Amino acid sequence: MIRQKKMAGRALLLAGPPATGKTALALGISQELGSKVPFCPMVGSEVYSSEVKKTEVLMENFRRAIGLRIKENKEVYEGEVTELSPEEAESTTSGYGKSISHVIIGLKTVKGTKQLKLDPTIYDALIKEKVAVGDVIYIEANSGAVKRVGRCDSFATEYDLEAEEYVPIPKGEVHKKKEIVQDVTLHDLDAANAQPQGGQDILSLMGQMMKPRKTEITDKLRQEINKVVNRYIDEGIAELVPGVLFIDEVHMLDIECFSYLNRALESPLSPIVILATNRGICNVRGTDMTSPHGIPVDLLDRLVIIRTETYGPTEMIQLLSPASVVAKANGREKISKADLEEVSGLYLDAKSSARLLQEQQERYIT
């Protein structure tokens, strides 16, 4: 339903006792939709803050769960780094020491090589991206932005084991036009375009030096960003990627938050909302009204409710899979008692863990 975009204005409710896999189901849905789909988890009690309104916290998380895939054709210099030589010169600003005047970088592709003389600010970007000789990078011609793609696959046999991503050497010329794909969320755009608070007086400067407080992004700014996003979508420059907003302990939200959720689900820019609760019939927070799962009836009508249950004998059999792995590793098809004993020594439930801590408390720091 989500892939076919039939979940517009609807949401999922996972209802069941604790430890029945509600969070795991939400994570599984997110993974099934793809690695580039935003997943924003939150707990119902997070909305209560002395600094930010409840609806503002909800809106922020809504926009964290909505992705935007921007495709642009940019003029870039791309290739494997063959040379990286910063050139130093006497500093003109301070009276002593040296500073980087420029950097010489060599880039190689299948078709040829090119040597570039770059500004010192681009060298700072190279340092930030941890670029070294043998890496495949591209540098945007108009902005000077640097992106490290990975390590060239010609170095793949350098080590037996390492956590490095190897990529082939780029084809074509070093200087070319390339389609750049960027994945951002609407909240990233909100935060990037928010104006900094405070003036130039001494109190404002002191406030900026201290730890910044969480401030709200105005609705006017969001509306302007929505207009730009919609224009990009209409022009085919960007593609909207609805993510997953997972709200655990949804019964902790009050009537004001539920009213806001009702309105937010009707928005054209809305993610897939998954709610989870372990409550039955209880009061809606902030009212004397009782309702299933502590959620108002008008919102319940929008929800697709999925019930989760505790493990039964069928599911218990599935829990024997670790023992099956041990048995196969020892060359057996059937699980023996020894396999179960070995696995039970590796995995502890809450009660066994508490009992072990009590028995061996002298070994732990108190």
- The overall average pLDDT reported for the chain is 81
Which tokens hold the place of 143? 């902005």
Q: Average the pLDDT over 38-49 and give the result.
A: 88
Rounded mean pLDDT, 121-127: 86
At residue 277, the pLDDT reads 92
Q: What percent of the chain has pLDDT over 70?
A: 85
Domain boundaries, the chain: 1-66+185-305, 70-179, 311-361
> What value does the mean pLDDT take over residues 82-91?
82
Which tops the pLDDT comparison, 25 or 8?
Answer: 25
Alpha helices in the chain (DSSP H): 22-33, 54-64, 120-128, 186-193, 202-209, 219-235, 255-265, 297-300, 313-318, 321-329, 337-346, 350-359
**Cβ–Cβ under 8 Å, residues 113 and 79:** yes
As assigned by CATH, the class of the 70-179 domain is mainly beta
Q: What is the pLDDT of residue 203?
A: 40
Question: Which class is domain 311-361?
Answer: mainly alpha
- pLDDT at position 108 over 60: yes
Looking at residue 208, its pLDDT comes to 46
pLDDT of 161 above 70: no
Sign of the dihedral through C-alpha 292, 296, 301, 307 = negative
pLDDT classification of 6: cutoffs 50, 70, 90: low
**Which residues have CB under 8 Å from 105's CB, separation 6+?**
81, 83, 84, 85, 115, 116, 118, 126
Top CATH class of 1-66+185-305 equals alpha beta
